[in-house]
A and B are shown apart, each in its own frame.
Chain A
Amino acid sequence: MESSDAEVIAAIRAGDAALFEELVRRYQSRLFATARRYARREVEVEDIVQQILIRVFQNLDSWRGDAPFEHWIMRIAVRVCYDALRAHQRNREQPITELSTEESDWLENHATIPENSSIDSDAARSLVTRAFEQLAPASRLILTLLEIEDRPVKEIAELTGWSVPLVKVRAFRARAEMRRVLSRMGLEKYL
């Protein structure tokens, strides 16, 4: 029978550091899925997940066991992803490039009959990626957690360490920022 997270952690705390591999195996796929929401390249994803796991190992003593280990590890994951977004924003320029023909076609199609515009097309996915890359880190994080992953506000507050009112304020600002980004990308002319 597989030992519980608490048992594995107790053994690691007692000095059996090699057992950390077991924890990594249990959670790495969830961490990779989370990191892929925020990172652009696969190399960045691997670095983020490694960073999360190192932080988990270093702070393992602070897990008290009153909440499931999964919640605790996801809290660290979200914070490391947020730090990565902020670091990425500091190092990047933000050019807004021309739309491709496919993207223009998708937008024209959306402007004509919004209900018929496909949500499965590569052009639409590319537009989303471009819009999200222009957002401030806090806006991107909050829109991902709230609107894409559909998490409740209270859970987001726990994951991010922000208060519930702050989450609501940031969500409101993030929606407004995304509209501004879409306008800056010149998408208004298609509507």
Chain B
Amino acid sequence: MKLEGLRQKLIQVARHQPVSDCVPYAFEQRVLHALRALPPRDPALAWVAGLWRAALCSLAIATVAGGIHLTQPDDPTAPVEAVADSDLLEVATLGDLPGFEAPLPDTLRP
């Protein structure tokens, strides 16, 4: 509490402190000289910078999306359609049941 009092007092001191706005002699000439000394801007560089920024953004999004995907727990209720050979999977599951005899296809029946 006492530190907050001191802090406010110091802020009051800073607020009361005048800030000079005086400008050095011929400062505008210095600025114009600096502007003339600047190399001309290459529009291709702006494109390259933009593309770099876009590439970094895409990389960041891909990293975040990958991270979310990897950290998500597997959903046991997820549909099985995603499995490419779901028919085989079904037969294998039924065949594993005790006492279940898979019916033979017509061509194999005696």
User: Which of A53, A119, A120, A132 has a CB less than 8 Å from the CB of B9?
Assistant: A119
Task: Say whether chain A's binding surface is mostly helix, strand, loop, or mixed.
Answer: helix
Name the B residues within 8 Å of A29 (CB-CB): 21-23
Name the A residues within 8 Å of B38 (CB-CB): 54
Name the A residues within 8 Å of B24 (CB-CB): 46
Tell whether, in the assembled complex, residue B14 and residue A54 are in contact, meaning their CB atoms are under 8 Å apart. Answer: no
A169 at the interface (CB under 8 A from B): no
User: Which of A18, A36, A49, A175 has a CB less than 8 Å from the CB of B27?
Assistant: A49
Q: Which of A84-122 contact B (CB under 8 A)?
A: 107, 110, 114, 117, 119-120
Residue tally, chain A, CB below 8 Å to B: 44
User: Which of B7, B23, B28, B35 has a CB less than 8 Å from the CB of A182?
Assistant: B7
Name the B residues within 8 Å of A132 (CB-CB): 14
Tell whether, in the assembled complex, residue B6 and residue A57 are in contact, meaning their CB atoms are under 8 Å apart. Answer: no
User: A24-B28, A120-B16 are known contacts. Are A191 and B3 too (CB-CB below 8 A)?
Assistant: yes
For A188, give the chain B residue with the smallest CB separation.
B3
Name the A residues within 8 Å of B31 (CB-CB): 20-21, 24, 50, 53-54
Of A3-11, A143-151, A156-164, the stretch lying at the interface with chain B is: A143-151
B30 at the interface (CB under 8 A from A): yes
For A30, give the chain B residue with the smallest CB separation.
B21
Q: Which of A32-62 contact B (CB under 8 A)?
A: 32-33, 36-37, 46, 49-50, 53-54, 57-58
Task: Say whether chain B's binding surface is mostly helix, strand, loop, or mixed.
Answer: helix
Please, how many angstroms separate the alpha-carbon atoms of A20 and B38 in the complex? Answer: 15
Please, how many angstroms separate the alpha-carbon atoms of A29 and B28 in the complex? Answer: 11
Tell whether, in the assembled complex, residue A119 and residue B22 are in contact, meaning their CB atoms are under 8 Å apart. Answer: no
Please, how many angstroms separate the alpha-carbon atoms of A127 and B24 in the complex? Answer: 28
A39 to chain B minimum Cβ distance, whole angstroms, is 11
Shortest beta-carbon contacts, A-B, top 10? A33-B21, A191-B2, A29-B21, A24-B28, A124-B13, A128-B14, A119-B13, A179-B3, A119-B16, A128-B10
Pull 24 A–B residue pairs with CB atoms less than 8 Å apart, ordered by A.
A21-B31, A24-B27, A24-B28, A28-B23, A28-B28, A29-B21, A32-B21, A36-B21, A37-B19, A46-B30, A49-B27, A50-B34, A57-B35, A110-B9, A117-B9, A119-B13, A125-B14, A131-B10, A179-B3, A182-B3, A182-B6, A182-B7, A191-B2, A191-B3
Chain A residues at the B interface, C-beta cutoff of 8 Å: 17-18, 20-21, 24-25, 28-30, 32-33, 36-37, 46, 49-50, 53-54, 57-58, 107, 110, 114, 117, 119-120, 124-125, 127-128, 131-132, 143, 147-148, 150, 175, 178-179, 182-183, 187-188, 191
Chain B residues at the A interface, C-beta cutoff of 8 Å: 2-7, 9-17, 19-24, 27-32, 34-35, 38, 41
Given contacts A24-B31, A53-B31, A119-B9, 5 further A-B contacts (CB under 8 A): A21-B31, A25-B28, A46-B24, A124-B13, A175-B7
